[in-house]
Structures are given as structure tokens and as C-alpha cells.
Amino acid sequence: MIISFEHVLSALPTQLLDGLLVVNVLSVKLLPKAAMLRALPASCDIVCSHPMFGPESGKHGWRDLPFVYDAVRVRDRHRFCRFLALWEEQGCMMTNLSCEEHDRLAAGSQFVTHLTGRVLGKLALRSTPINTRGFESLLALIDSTSADSFDLFYALYAHNPNSTEQLTMYAQALESLRAELLAFKGDVPAAVTR
């Protein structure tokens, strides 16, 4: 879990990690990168990675699902390539991104997805006999995001410096749309207004 990462990292017997490859697979990257560089021996290779799927979205296989990685500190290139090959062999789409770029992009995609799912969940929407495909997609979004823990949602917000801006922009966009709706007069045909 993101929230307990630094605690778990500090409990590792660093003397046993000498010369090893240490990889994290958390949903945020800047926090673990900084923590690993601080806590792990200089002899450790460090890779920050993020399989952009979870138990629900990856339950039918990983083919064509994105796997993001950043070789933060890698001396043993052969071992690093073998690690990447494990994911490539499962059909993952491999994407090399810096931790900074990952968190910037993830705030606008992963965090906003979870935020939208949780906002819609607060509306207590339920399936109806007249569901549209779009509505079915919204229900699926609610199901997939509510299946994840609130700890994960909070960590996507609190430990990605870009998420605060996304939350502000989301609230502003909602208020802007609300104002447009309230101000709209529309072109109502004369026959309808009688």
C-alpha cells in the first residue's frame, strides 16, 4: 500500500539488499522513488514501475495493458531487461516514463477516473430497465472504483503532487457547467411556450 510504503521500506534489512534489484509497483511514483533513494544501499538497483491495471481489469490477462517503468538506478542492465521481459511476455504494452511524467499523467487519468467513480457512487445510481450504453459504462466505473479501497483513493490524491490541481479543476468544471445550465435560456419554439 502507498500509505505504508515508507514504513515497510524502513523495516527491510538493507544489508541483505546489497547488489539486488528492488522494484516498486505502486500507483504513484515520486514518493517511492525518493524513499527508495534515501533508504536503500547505493549498491541496489532501483526500478519504479506501475502495472496500469489491478485485479479487476487484469483478471482476464495482461495482454495490451500498459506497464510503466523508470530505471531510477540500474547498473545490471541484463537483470533489468530480464525483469522487463517478464511483463513483455505477458503481452503488456511497455512504456518507459520518468516518475515525474508518470505522476503528471496519472493525476489526469487514474486519479480523475477514481474521483469520477466515487462522485457518481455518492449519487447512489442504480440500473434501470432503460439503461443506455453510456449509463452502463458509468455503472461499471462506479463498480470498478468502489471495489478499490479508500486508502488507495486517498493515496492517489495525497501522494501525487498533481492531484490537488486536478481536484480543483474538477470542482471548477462542475461549477462552470452548473452555471451554464442555470443561465441557459435556449431557443424554445413559440408553439412550445404557449
Q: What confidence tens digit (pLDDT) does each residue in 143-168 have? A: 989 888 999 999 999 999 999 999 99
CB atoms near residue 46 (< 10 Å): 19
Q: What rounded mean pLDDT belongs to the chain? A: 95
Residue 65 has pLDDT above 90, yes or no: yes
Phi-psi map region of 40: left, alpha, beta (phi>0 left; psi -120 to 50 alpha): beta
pLDDT of res. 186: 82
Q: Which helix (H) or strand (E) segment is 68 a member of?
A: strand 66-73
Distance between CA atoms of 22 and 164, rounded to whole angstroms?
29
Residue 187 has pLDDT above 80, yes or no: no
Alpha helices in the chain (DSSP H): 5-11, 30-39, 77-88, 99-106, 112-122, 133-146, 150-158, 163-183, 190-193
Bridge partners, residue 23, by sequence: 47
Q: For 12-38, how does the pLDDT look when each residue is reduced to its tens digit (9 = 90+)?
A: 998 999 999 999 999 999 999 999 999
Q: For 90-132, how does the pLDDT look when each residue is reduced to its tens digit (9 = 90+)?
A: 999 999 999 999 999 999 999 999 999 999 999 999 999 999 9
Instruction: State if pTM tops 0.75.
Output: yes
Beta-strand relationship, 45-51 and 66-73? antiparallel
Q: Domains (ranges, CATH) in the chain?
A: 6-97 (3.40.50.720), 102-177 (no CATH)
Distance between CA atoms of 154 and 63, rounded to whole angstroms?
29
pLDDT of res. 54: 84
Query: If we measure between CA atoms, which residue out of 96, 79, 98 comes closest to residue 20?
Result: 79
- Residue 146 buriedness (CB in 10 A; 0-12 / 13-18 / 19+): middle
Q: For 68-95, how does the pLDDT look when each residue is reduced to its tens digit (9 = 90+)?
A: 999 999 999 999 999 999 999 999 999 9
